[in-house]
Amino acid sequence: AGDGFTLAGNSTDNTLSGNVADGNDGSGFMLLYSGNNTLTGNTATKNGRYGFEVVESYGNTYTNNDCKKNVLGGDNQGGSIC
């Protein structure tokens, strides 16, 4: 139940690298009110919402993240967020 990986409540200066979020009820990766984080080389597959969901979160860096077969957001191989 819920999201796979979550950064919330003003989480800053974190790095998520090389993680896989697969088959979660919510989004694979959720950034909520969090900034200046780095997400690199993560994969979000078959999640119930978005692969990467970003809400009111600014100044984050997204590099070489993959989204495949999530319910919302479509596919985006090697892209930023979806």
Give, in order, the Cα–Cα distances in Å from 65 to each of 9, 48, 80.
23, 18, 6
* pLDDT digits (tens), the chain, 82 positions: 699 999 999 999 999 999 999 999 999 999 999 999 999 999 999 999 999 998 889 999 999 999 999 998 765 554 446 7
For residues 36-45, one letter each, b for 16 or more C-beta atoms within 10 angstroms of the residue's C-beta and e for the rest, the string is ebebeebbbb
What pLDDT is recorded for position 14? 98
What pLDDT is recorded for position 74? 62
What pLDDT is recorded for position 82? 74
Query: Has this prediction a pTM greater than 0.95?
Result: no
What pLDDT is recorded for position 78? 46
In 3D, which of 4, 2, 6 has the Cα closest to residue 54?
A: 6
In 3D, which of 51, 47, 58, 62 has the Cα closest to residue 17?
A: 62
Q: Which residue's entry shows tokens 């892209």?
A: 79
